[in-house]
Structure formats: structure tokens, C-alpha cells
Amino acid sequence: MSDSSIDLRGVMCPINFVKTKLKLEAMNPGEILEVILDSGDPIQNVPKSIKEEGHKIVEVKKEGDFFRLKVQRS
């Protein structure tokens, strides 16, 4: 389903966003990155920043204490 995956559980803001950004930049436009984020600060901040960078969040699933996002690289 996704071309790449990054598990950011336990990674603090804004390092989690920077890691997501770097991963996305290494991918090709249109490819899908799976991002796993903790609830709380990470889920409050990282999706906003991903959007502001121009990428698209195509799927969000809550799984207990964390979120599984699918992000399409711009």
C-alpha cells in the first residue's frame, strides 16, 4: 500500500516532522509514505506541518495511542 514507512513513536516535536520531511524529500512525487505518530503533541503538530509543506495526507487511522497516516509526496 505504501512505498515507504517511518515509525515516529517516541520521537519529539519538531524532530518527528524533520524526519518525515527528509524521508519525503528522498521519495518520488506521488509516492506514499506511511507515518506512525503518537497522540498528543505529535498528532497536533506534524499533520499541519506536512500540509504546509504541500504534501497530501490521504489516510488517517487511529490505533490505540498512536496514529497511522498515509502521506502522498507532492
Partner 1 sequence: MTDHFIEDKTTKVTVAVDGTEAQKFDFNDLKSGGFIKQRQKDLFTVRLRCPGGRLSTEKLLEISKIAHKYSKKGVVHFSFRQSLEILYVDYKEFSNVVAELEKIGQKVASCGPRVRVPTACGGCEYNPNGLTDTQKMADMVDKTFFGTPTPHKFKTSFSGCPIDCARTKEMDMGFQGVVDPTWEEESCTGCTICSEACKEDAIASDPDTGKPIFDPVKCLFCGDCIRACPTEAWKPKRYGHIVRIGGKHGRHPMEAVEVCSFLPDEKVPDAIKMTIDWYNANGKRGERIGNALKRVGLDNYLKHMEPVFQNTAKAGA
Among 25, 52, 63, 65, binds partner 1 (CB under 8 A): 52
Cβ distance 11 to 18 under 8 Å? no
Total binding residues toward partner 1, as defined by CB under 8 A: 16
CB count within 10 Å of CB 16 equals 24
Q: Which of 2, 4, 5, 13 is catalytic?
A: 13
CA distance 66 to 74: 24
- Residue list 3-42, contact with partner 1 (CB under 8 A): 39
C-alpha cell at 68: 497511522
Binding site for partner 1 (CB under 8 A): 39, 43-44, 47-49, 51-52, 56-62, 67
